[in-house]
Amino acid sequence: MRDEAALFAALGDDTRLGLLTRLGEEPSSIAGLTRGGVLTRQAVTKHLYILEKAGLVTCARLGRESLWELRRQRLEDARAFLDLMSRRWDDRIERLRAHVEIS
């Protein structure tokens, strides 16, 4: 279960969140993601690899360019984990409250 850390770590960077947001609009190539930004192509590439390793994006080669696409499922995974933590906390509060009411 604790491979979630890598997932959150991948999300924990401004640049990468920006890339994810753009990929959320539409799949894009490295050159496309680089255009208009301040980073070099290689910097973008490295971030994409990190996102890929975390399972947040996939890449498909298409001729001379590679199309990167968001993997919604992985966002869901992260969300589920946070849900679980929240729920556990709520349960604990509930148990506490119940215990107080008894005594």
- Residues in contact with a second copy by CB under 8 A are 2, 4-14, 16-18, 20-21, 24-26, 70, 72, 75-76, 78-79, 82-83, 85-86, 88-90, 92
Q: Of these, 22, 45, 71, 77, which contacts DNA (CB under 7 A)? A: 45
Q: Which helix (H) or strand (E) holds 66?
A: strand 65-70
Binding to DNA by residue 82, rule CB under 7 A?
Answer: no
* Cβ-proximal residues to 95 (8 Å cutoff; 6+ apart), any chain: none
SS3 (DSSP) at 3: coil
Dihedral sign (CA 80, 85, 90, 96): positive
Dihedral sign (CA 65, 56, 24, 73): positive
Q: Which does 38 bind (CB under 5 to 8 A by kind): a second copy, DNA, none?
A: DNA
Q: Of these, 38, 98, 100, 102, which contacts DNA (CB under 7 A)? A: 38
Binding site for DNA (CB under 7 A): 9, 13, 15, 29-32, 34, 38-43, 45-47, 50, 63-66
